[in-house]
Structure formats: C-alpha cells, structure tokens
Amino acid sequence: MIARRLLYLNTHRLSAYLWRHGKLLPEGAFENGDEGLAGFAEYLAAHRHSHFSLLANVTEEGHVLETIPFLHGSDRQALITRKIGQHFLGTPLATAFSLGYEKSQRKNEKLLISALTNPIHFEPWLQRINDAEAPLAGVYTVAQLGGQLLKKLGLANGRCLLLTLQDHSIRESYLVSGQTLFSRMAPITDSSIAGVASSFAAEAGKLHQYLIGQRLISRDETLPVFIVASPPAIPAIEHACPDHGHLAFSIIDSHVAAHKLGLHTPPEDSRSDFLFLHLLATAAPSQQFAGEVHRHDFRLSQIRQSIIAAGLIALLGSLLFSAKENYDAYALRQETQALRTSEADLSWRYQEISATFPQLGIDNDTLRRLTTRHADLSRQQHLPGGAYRLVSRALDQMPNVILEGIEWKIGRQGTPAAASSIEGNEEITTIRGAIRPEPNATPRQILASFEQFAELLRSDPACSVSVLQQPFDMESGRALRGGDSEDENAQPRQFAVEITRKIAP
C-alpha cells in the first residue's frame, strides 16, 4: 500500500506528517528559507514514492461569488477559467465550487471562486515537489475543510460562523450549508487561555458586523458561532463568550471531536491543525487548488497503480483458473484410475469364469466372429408362417377349393437377387389346387369361385398375387376348355397361383 504523507504550510514553515491507521506521526518541520527548502528536498527524496497532500493556512485567500449560464462540458470549463482570470489574474492556484442552480427560468449556476492570491509563497515548496517527482494529490486550505468538520460532527446547518485557533491566529469562516463563502485570519497578541478566549469573543463580533455590512446576513438574524477549543480552555471561553445579541456560541471540545472523527492523536492544545489534517486524510474534498502541472506525477502514479492492480487481478484470475484446471485434471486422473481398477477386476473375473468353459479348439477371436455371424443369420432367418396363414384363411372361406400342393421359397432361382443378401429380397409361395364343382355347375361359376379365392389371397396389401394357370383356358374367340375336352361339360383342370411378399430389411 502506498504511504500517505500530509504537508501543513502556514506563513512561516512547512510541517510534514505521516498518516497511518488514524494517527498523525510528525516527521519534520522546515522553515521558510534556503536551509528549510534544502531539508525539505532531502525529505522528499527519501519518500518520493509516497502520495502527498498539502494543507495551507495562509492569509492570502480570496473568495468571490459568481453566476454563470447553464452550460456543460468544455464550454462550462472555459467560462469558469475566464471568470477565474478576471478575478484572480496571476495565480495558478484557483478553483471553483458549484453552489447549485437558481430556480428561475434560465437556471443559472451559482459558483464560489476561490484562490490563493500569493503564489510566490507556494512556488518554492511546489518546485521542490516537482523536482523530486513526488506525487502531489492536491493543495487544500483550512477554510475549505470547515464545512466538512461541522458535517462530521453533526453540526452543519444553514448559516454559521466557525472559529478555530491556527498558528497563533484565529481562523474565522462564514459558512452557508456547509460551504465556506468567506474566511480570514486574525492575529493573536495574547496567547494565554484568557487572551485567546477574549480574542474569540472580539473576533466573532467583528465578523458579525462585517457580514451585516456586506449584506450577507440581516441585522435581525441570529447567527450560530462554533468555537473549537481544548478541554482546559473551554471554561474561559464560555465565560468570555456568553450568548448575547444575535450571536449564539457553541463550544466544540477538540478531544471529543477527535474521537468522533476517528483521530487517535488528539490535539495537545486548542489548535485545530490535527483535526483538519485528519479530515484531509480521510475525506479530502473533490475540489483542490493545484493545477495539472503540479499533479503530473500524481497522475502517473495513479496510472501505475491501476496497471499494477489490473496485473494483480489478471494474475489472481490466472491462479484461480489454474487451480480449477488442476482440480479437474486430478479428478480425471482419479476417475481413470478407478476405471482401470474396475477393468482389471472385470478381466480377472472373466478369466476366472472362462477357465471353466469347455475347450473348443478355436481361439477367442474366431469364436467371436462365429457368434457374430450366427447372430446375423438368426436376424436374417425367415419362415413361411405369414404366407401359410394367408392361404389357410382363404381355404377356410372357400371349402370347395382343394389344395394339392404348396411351394415356398425366397427369391427366384438363377437371378442376381437370389445370390445377394436376403435383405431387400422377396418370398414366393406357389399354390396348386383344384376347384370341386357343385352338381350342374357351369364353367363360369367355377371361374367365379376361383376369382373369389384369388381375391381372398389379395386381401393382404403386403402381397401381390399372380395367376399362373386358371381352371379353364380364357382365349378370345374360343370356347372354354377344361381338362382334355372342349365342350362346356368338361371338368376344370388344376390351377396355379403365385403369392409374392417383400421381405422387410
């Protein structure tokens, strides 16, 4: 994890702190001079891979309220840059805070433009940071964090004053809905507890009159005043700042505030430096004063950390995928081993059983081929049962038909189909018989009986019936003939019928 270091800059020195697990650990103080700047450069060289945040508490801080049209994107940014140049020309340490939109038809945006108006005071320190290529997250001010402090303590409201002790001076801030609209510093001539208490009371009254003069508040409005002080100084401040007129004083115990904020190193006196530094470390504002030139190395550090994080995620994903593949491979090896064990057991049991078989004098492969061929022949075996049943049903209905001979075969002898496989061939049933005529039956009646018998054979749609020989010859222009005589009283001869049925494959 990247270490975070906080820099606190006032009018005459810069102090460095390491923030770790809710504690602020002092690491050095550097005076505003050549010797202090040289020491600061050495400090940066030793910790150039940390992320730095600069908190400033200086007098030269300006605030201006502006209204701009409703814009988006680059147009809005260009207009804000123009407004900053109009009010604070010559300083690169400036920013704009959005205060929302007016509820009018034009929907104009209200802005608070703030700037550090003495960039010369910051330039030597920022130059040392750039030379060391140390990542600078941003430049912030104590006045900027006042609203965050009250919000964290659950004291944020509409309009109020916040007074804190900073570097032998009082930081006075006027806040509206948690946003600082005006801030200034007032020096303290008497640093005793009583002198600080009387200074709080006097400065609160002066700031109240100034705000009334600027028409930022009305004369009849009661203004809450929050004062941050250490426990030993609270009784003196309460005595010096009773509620009177239109000021309602509330004292904030700095130790209680540190506990609520999660700061494990509470302030030793009434100064609020540690409270604001801890707020900067835990809840830094989205807006800051440094330009992209000063934050170049910080952007590079962010890109570097993103690449490292992406690489770690990819590595973790690869490790997880590799672990899954290894587990699958292990499971397959276990399954293969189990199958091999089962195969060996089954082979042993087969050999044990086959040892009891009678010896046939042939090897297993030949026996396997024979059994396979026998199974194929069994499946191809056909019997004349179907044809015989058809003939039997027809004879039951025609008792005057006498069956003299029946022949069943598969395929026609001497044809290619007979030499081929049985599948797709046909079975042929040939019936020979005679018609037993009734007394005085004419040849036509005998032929009619024969045709009725043939129709009964044709009742099965899977069979085709062909008449090979009829009881009488049927020739055009000649009389009916039966047997060897040519008169109509001749006896019928033997008939022959062929029934063909396709064999299903």
| Residue that finishes a domain, picked among 237, 271, 305 | 271
Would you give the distance in Å from CA 461 to the centre of its chain?
66
* Domains in the chain, number: 3
On whether the CB atoms of residues 408 and 384 are closer than 8 A, the answer is: yes
CA distance 374 to 376: 5
Averaged pLDDT, 90-98: 89
- Does the pLDDT at position 5 exceed 90? yes
How high is the pLDDT of residue 486?
A: 45
pLDDT at 466 over 80: yes
Say yes or no to pLDDT of 421 above 50. no
pLDDT digits (tens, 9 = 90+) for 357-369: 777 777 778 888 8
Cα(334)–Cα(328) distance, integer angstroms:
10
Highest-pLDDT range among 37-41, 152-156, 264-268, 387-391: 37-41
Shared domain for 147 and 260, answered yes or no, is yes
On whether both 319 and 411 belong to a single domain, the answer is: no
Is 162 contained in some domain? yes
pLDDT at 37: 93
Rounded to 10°, the helix 273-282/254-261 angle is 10
With a pLDDT cut of 90, the percent of the chain lying above it is 40
The identity of residue 283, as a single letter, is A
Question: What percent of the chain shows pLDDT beyond 70?
Answer: 93
DSSP state at residue 333: H
Written as one letter, the residue type at 183 is S
Q: Are residues 494 and 432 in the same domain?
A: yes
Rg (CA), the chain: 57
The answer to whether 139 and 122 are in contact (CB under 8 A) is yes
What is the rounded distance in angstroms from the CA atom of residue 413 to the CA atom of residue 24?
113
330 shares a domain with 223 = no
- The average pLDDT across 438-457 equals 88
Q: Based on the domain organization, do 393 and 474 belong to the same domain?
A: yes
pLDDT band at 341 (very low <50, low <70, confident <90, very high): very high
Residue 474's pLDDT band (boundaries 50, 70, 90)?
Answer: low
Q: Give, rounded to a whole angstrom, the gap between the first and last alpha carbons of the chain.
A: 79
Average pLDDT over residues 404-412: 85
Lowest mean pLDDT among 103-107, 230-234, 425-429: 103-107
- Walk across the sheet containing 223-229 and list its strands: 179-187, 169-176, 159-166, 223-229, 247-253
The answer to the question of residue 266 being in a domain is yes
Within-domain flag for 239: yes
* pLDDT for the residue numbered 502: 83
Higher-scoring residue by pLDDT: 480, 63: 63
Q: For residues 51 and 5, is the Cβ–Cβ distance under 8 A?
A: yes
Domain range enclosing 159: 143-271
Cα dihedral 394→396→398→402 (10° resolution): 90
Mean pLDDT of 108-130: 92
In a domain, 400, yes or no: yes
Residue 91 falls inside a structural domain: no
pLDDT higher than 60, residue 348: yes
Which of the two residues, 419 and 167, has the higher pLDDT score? 167
Mean pLDDT of 33-58: 92
- For residue 440, give the CATH number of its domain: 3.30.70
Instruction: Assess whether pLDDT exceeds 60 at residue 505.
Output: no
Q: Quick one: 299 and 217 in the same domain?
A: no
Other Cβ atoms closer than 10 A to 16? 20
| Residue 492 shares a structural domain with residue 390 | yes
User: pLDDT at residue 478 above 70?
Assistant: no
For residue 135, tell me if it sits in a domain: no
**Among 314, 340, 366, residue at a domain's last position:** 340
Residue 4 in contact with residue 19, Cβ under 8 Å? Answer: yes
Which pLDDT does position 345 carry in this prediction?
Answer: 94
Question: For residue 319, with 0-12 CB atoms within 10 Å meaning exposed, 13-18 middle and 19 or more buried, which class applies?
Answer: exposed
Eight-state DSSP code of residue 232: G
Per DSSP, helices labelled H in 99-250 are 119-131, 146-152, 193-213, 234-240
Report pLDDT for 504.
Answer: 66
Q: Is residue 168 predicted with pLDDT exceeding 90?
A: no
Same domain, 432 and 313: no
Least confident of 270-279, 384-393, 399-408, 482-491: 482-491
- Is the pTM value of this prediction over 0.85? no
User: So what's the pLDDT on residue 422?
Assistant: 44
405 and 315 both lie in a single domain? no
Q: Is residue 328 located within the same domain as residue 443?
A: no
Sign of CA dihedral 435, 438, 441, 444: negative
pLDDT value at residue 484: 42
Residues 6+ apart with CB under 8 A from 137: 51, 52, 53, 284, 288, 295, 298
**What's the confidence (pLDDT) of residue 480?**
52
Q: What is the mean pLDDT of the chain?
A: 86
Q: Is 6 exposed, middle or buried (0-12, 13-18, 19+ CB in 10 A)?
A: buried
**pLDDT (average), residues 314-336:** 95
3-state secondary structure of 56: strand
The reply to whether 362 falls in a domain is no
- pLDDT for res 420: 44
Is 178 found in the same domain as 219? yes
Q: Examine residue 176 and state whether it is found in any structural domain, yes or no.
A: yes
Cβ proximity of 140 and 294 under 8 Å:
no
Q: What integer is the mean pLDDT of 284-293?
A: 88
| Residue range 452-460: mean pLDDT, rounded | 89
pLDDT tens digits, 195-254: 899 999 999 999 999 999 888 888 888 889 999 999 999 999 988 888 777 889 999 999
Task: Output the pLDDT for position 334.
Answer: 95
Same domain? For 202 and 317 the reply is no
